[in-house]
């Protein structure tokens, strides 16, 4: 008789272990993460177990009134090096503080939320709290990064040839966005995000978050009640970052 557990036995064992770890709650992933795997169920777990609603014990607890820097420290920390290094470069290049903030936040969607269309998601996330030019630039870097601008010292990233293939061409909505952005008075702000975007970032280079505390303090309108507890068009996105595995 075989002693190798079947896949359903392994799935049961995993669910039991997760339930122990999570105080008898089952964690569900957002539905769209399951789509590519062919998952179609939305209801409770087959055993009728309760689903997680509230703090996820696998994640660092957050203060009741979380600030932007709390989200960096407690949610983005594993992947935030790219943001810190880009903001550091922007500072070294003498960009205005507002643009240092834009570089610090430009891939906030990638590090904390979702990669697809990340410029758009990231801009929406920070829009109520930053100067309009900052969120516009973050939104537009989504399109501009695919198009070189030699006058600004920006070439098509070599990394994209590796990641997407030599024959990759941006989709029509990206081309159209680029054409619109080129004519905009803030074009160069969005372009500066691309110029200071480190495509080959150095894993050994340490940039501390504290370096940007003053810039954030001066240019990010932190709500007193905490991000997510406030009432802006982006509050729900901060709440999702705080508790990303809530069942609903």
Residues in contact with Fe ion by CB under 5 A are 107, 197
Nearer to Fe ion, 28 or 86 (CB): 86
CB of 197 to Fe ion, least distance (A): 4
CB 17 within 8 A of CB 46: no
Q: How far is the CB of 155 from Fe ion (least distance, A)?
A: 15
Nearer to Fe ion by Cβ, of 52 and 101: the residue is: 101
Length of the chain: 248
Question: Kind and range of the H or E element at 28?
Answer: none
Judged by beta carbon, residue 27 or residue 72, the one nearer Fe ion is 72
- 3-class secondary structure for 70-84? HHHHHHHHHHCHHHH
Residue 107: CB minimum distance to Fe ion, A: 4
Taking 3-state DSSP, the helix, strand and coil percentages for the chain, each rounded to the nearest 5, stand at 55, 0, 45
Distance between CA atoms of residues 7 and 26, nearest Å: 19
* Residue placing its CB nearer to Fe ion in the complex, 107 or 177: 107
Least separation in angstroms between CB 118 and Fe ion: 6
């Amino acid at each position: 008789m075989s002693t190798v557990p079947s896949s359903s036995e392994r799935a049961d064992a995993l669910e039991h272990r997760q339930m122990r770890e999570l105080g008898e709650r089952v964690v569900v992933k957002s539905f769209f993460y399951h789509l590519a795997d062919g998952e179609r169920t939305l209801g409770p777990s087959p055993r009728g177990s309760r689903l997680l609603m509230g703090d996820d014990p696998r994640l660092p607890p957050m203060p009741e009134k979380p600030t932007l820097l709390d989200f960096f420290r407690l949610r983005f920390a594993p992947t935030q090096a790219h943001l810190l290094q880009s903001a550091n470069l922007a500072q070294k290049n003498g960009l205005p503080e507002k643009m240092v903030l834009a570089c610090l936040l430009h891939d906030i969607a990638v590090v904390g939320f979702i990669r697809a269309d990340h410029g758009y998601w990231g801009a929406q996330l920070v829009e109520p709290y930053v100067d309009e030019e900052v969120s516009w630039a973050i939104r537009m870097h989504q399109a501009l990064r695919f198009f070189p601008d030699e006058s600004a010292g920006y070439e098509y990233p070599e990394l994209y040839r590796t990641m997407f293939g030599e024959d990759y061409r941006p989709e029509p909505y990206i081309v159209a966005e680029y054409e619109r952005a080129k004519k905009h008075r803030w074009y160069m702000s969005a372009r500066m995000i691309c110029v200071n975007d480190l495509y080959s970032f150095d894993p050994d280079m340490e940039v501390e978050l504290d370096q940007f505390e003053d810039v954030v303090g001066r240019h990010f309108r932190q709500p007193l009640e905490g991000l997510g507890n406030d009432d802006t068009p982006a509050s729900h996105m901060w709440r999702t970052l705080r508790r990303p595995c809530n069942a609903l």
